Each structure stands twice: as C-alpha cells, then as structure tokens.
Amino acid sequence: AKNSARGSSIIFSEEHESLIRKKSEVELALTQSIKQEQICIHYQPIVDGQTGEILGFESLARWFHPELGKIPPDQFIMIAEKNGMITQITLHLFELAIQNLKQWPEPLYLSFNLSANDVINRATLAKLTGILDKHHVQANRVQFEITETTMMADLEQCSHITREMQKQGFLVALDDFGSGYSSLSYLHKLAFDTLKIDRSFVNNIQQNQRSRGVIKTILELCSSFEVQCTAEGVETAAQRDLLLELGCKNMQGYYFYRPAAIESFELTSQ
Ligand code: C2E
Ligand code: CA
Ligand code: CA
Ligand code: CA
C-alpha cells in the first residue's frame, strides 16, 4: 500500500509538473502571440429569430499557435487576466474589430466581450474610446458584453462604469445571464441595454418545463426593464420555435450561424 501510494504521488507530481510546464509555455507563447499575428477574431451573427436577418456580430477571439495548436478563448483570456496581458489583448482585438465594423453596412453593430479587468480599469475605457475616435466610428454601433459574474464581483464599480459607457453612447449587454448567482435583487442597480440568456436554459428548453419557465420570466423581466433580450446557443429549429412562441426576438447560435471569419459572411447583399 505504501509503495503504491508513493507511486501515485510520483505520477501526480509528474503530471502536475508537466501541467505547470505546459501552462508557462502557453504564457510565454501568449506574450508573442500579438506580434506574431496569431490572434484573430471570428464573428457570430446575432439574428432576428423570425426572419433570420443579421442584426449584428459578436466578436470571439481566436488564438492559433503553430506548435500548441488552437487554444480556446476562455482559457487564454483567463491566463491573460492573471499575467496582466489582458488590457493589451483587449485593445488589440478591439482595434481589429473596429477595422471590420467600419466595412459593415449600418445598422449592423459589433458586440464585444470585455473581461473583468477591462471593466474595473477605468483607463481602458478611455483607450477603447480612443480607438473608436481614430476610426471615426460612432459609439452607438458598439455593444460591450459583460458577464453577470463580472458584474456581481464588483457591483458598485460595474454599475458606475456601465453608466459611463452608456453616457458615451455605447450599448451594454449583461452576458451569460442566469449562469451565475441568478440573484435578481441586484438587477435594478445595473445599467444595461440587453440581457443575454445563458445557453444552458436554451439547451434544456424542450425537455425541461422549468427552463421554459425561467426564460418566460426573464423575458417578462426584460420587458418591464425595457431592455432587449437575446437568447444564446440556439441549436435547433424546435428551440427557435419555442423561443419565438415565448416572445424572444433576438437569437444567436449554431442553428443560424457558427462563429467564422468575417469574409465568410455576405454583408453587401443585406
Ligand atoms: P461567450 O461570450 O458566452 O460566447 C459564446 C460562446 O458560445 C462562444 O464560445 C461561441 O462559439 C459559443 N456558441 C455560440 N453558439 C453556440 C451554440 O449554438 N452552441 C454551443 N454549444 N456553443 C455556441 P467561444 O468562442 O469558445 O468563447 C468562449 C468564451 O470565451 C466566451 O463566452 C467569452 O466569455 C470568452 N471570450 C471569447 N472571445 C473573447 C474576447 O474577445 N474577450 C473576452 N474578454 N472574452 C472572450
Ligand atoms: Ca459574450
Ligand atoms: Ca454568453
Ligand atoms: Ca460564456
């Protein structure tokens, strides 16, 4: 027993070591990623669920490293938040996204994900605005997506900065709604224009009466708050139909479009 215990602890520490090695490899690679043009953006349309018309695009970061391969955004964003690179990455992505947005016919808009650090750092907002100004793009064509978890972590600061964003003309979306604490008591304190229903509810909408009930309640909430609502992760026609029945207009998901390079969307025919 003693031997096997020691054996497993050796295996564990080797695994642990290789994990650490992998992590610092990724960290190191991340510092080179921007300069080597490995980070780019894919876009996923936000559509009118009834007509399928594209209303706007959410930008989703993509990192492809020649040796490490594809590293998922939630992973490298988390690393960047810890090692202090996040602001640099956010600004780089925003610059790329605004260059694309400039080519899109109005009223198509950009929905851009911000991390917690971006929201907490006031100077970042000024830099984001600086990029808009440089390209002569109006703030009302940009929506910032901030997750419920981020908002909850620092309610005071977040409500402050989202109000500031709105004052400057930006739209604000409360992302992944329902995936975090789901406490409704804080909602009235927050300034936002759109609420994005987390895809876990949409996922269960057919099998689970309660998910339907939750979505119905969220939609009622949105209409009483006079904010827009977008359902994320719509994968089937049946899900779309149920959402339409419940009165949800804006949708996003694989059923309509998967995230892809901007060139794959025909924007001129709109
Ligand atoms: P998110 O903001 O909730 O983005 C939606 C995620 O769901 C994306 O994953 C998207 O590809 C995926 N998705 C869209 N439709 C469907 C569907 O019908 N079914 C399923 N199963 N999934 C769907 P992705 O691109 O891997 O991004 C994951 C997360 O990484 C994002 O979640 C966001 O939190 C973060 N992220 C991505 N890009 C950025 C960025 O530029 N900045 C920041 N701060 N975070 C980002
Ligand atoms: Ca998002
Ligand atoms: Ca989301
Ligand atoms: Ca998410």
DSSP-assigned states of every residue in 180-195: S---GGGGGG---SEE
Ligand 2 center to 141 CA (angstroms): 16
**Sole residue written with tokens 């300069």:** 35
Q: Phi and psi at residue 216, in whole multiples of 5°?
A: -60, -45
Residue 268 has a pLDDT of: 65
* Contacts by 204-210, CB closer than 8 A, 24 or more apart: 205/239, 205/242, 205/243, 206/236, 206/238, 206/239, 206/242
| Cα 140 to averaged position of ligand 3 atoms, centre (Å) | 20
Q: Is 113 in the pocket of ligand 1 (CB under 6 A)?
A: yes
**Which of 200, 180, 201 has the alpha carbon at shortest distance from 190?**
180
Atom of ligand 1 nearest to the CA of 74: 30
Q: What's the CA-to-centroid distance between 104 and ligand 1, angstroms?
A: 22
Q: What is the pLDDT along the chain (270 residues), one digit of tens a residue?
A: 444 445 555 566 777 777 777 778 888 999 999 988 999 999 999 999 999 999 999 999 999 999 999 999 999 999 999 999 999 999 999 999 999 999 999 999 999 999 999 998 889 999 999 999 999 999 999 999 999 999 988 899 999 999 999 999 999 999 999 887 656 778 888 899 999 999 999 999 999 898 899 999 999 999 999 999 999 999 999 999 999 999 999 999 999 999 999 999 988 644
> Are 119 and 161 within 8 A, CB to CB?
yes
The string over 157-186, giving b where at least 16 C-beta atoms fall within 10 Å of a residue's C-beta and e elsewhere, is ebbebbeebbeeebbbbbbbbbbeeeeeee
Tell me the pTM.
0.92
In angstroms, the CA 59 to CA 72 distance is: 14
Q: Whose CA is nearest to atom 27 of ligand 1?
A: 73
Q: By alpha-carbon position, which residue is closest to atom 34 of ligand 1?
A: 74
Q: Is 198 in the pocket of ligand 1 (CB under 6 A)?
A: no
